[in-house]
Amino acid sequence: MYLKKFRIRRIWLPSLLGRITTLLMANSLLTLYFYLMGNAQGFTDTTLIFLVNFEFWTLPLTAISGLFAAMAYLAAIPLSSKLHFASIAGSLFTAALSLALFLGLALLQAFMNGYTG
């Protein structure tokens, strides 16, 4: 009986999730920059609220995709010849940073809404 040798193809899911995480983090930092510059230059309140709401949705997506990317890199270690330590550490760092920014944004939004009780 003839057995074919199977060629392992390149694993694309970890790199795709890593790139999505990088894109979302860059988008979050750019939105934060626009918020800070708009606050310094006196943008209207509706523009600043829009930026906060956009950031409020982008940061959790960044944290989730960072965790998924790290899990995908860890799952792909037995199938690949590389360890991808830098990619795993970068994904986890991005997830932690976006979670910290999200908590800071939630605190900012709590102060913007005032104390209702």
Q: What one-character-per-residue DSSP string does 104-117 give?
A: HHHHHHHHHH----
Q: What is the mean pLDDT of residues 64-82?
A: 87
Do residues 62 and 21 make contact, with C-beta atoms less than 8 angstroms apart? yes
Residue 115 in this model has a pLDDT that exceeds 90: no
Q: What mean pLDDT, rounded, does the chain reach?
A: 87
Lowest mean pLDDT among 4-8, 17-21, 23-27, 61-65: 4-8
Residue 116 in this model has a pLDDT that exceeds 60: no
What is the distance between the alpha carbons of residues 39 and 90, in angstroms, rounded to a whole number? 30
- According to DSSP, residue 19 is labeled H
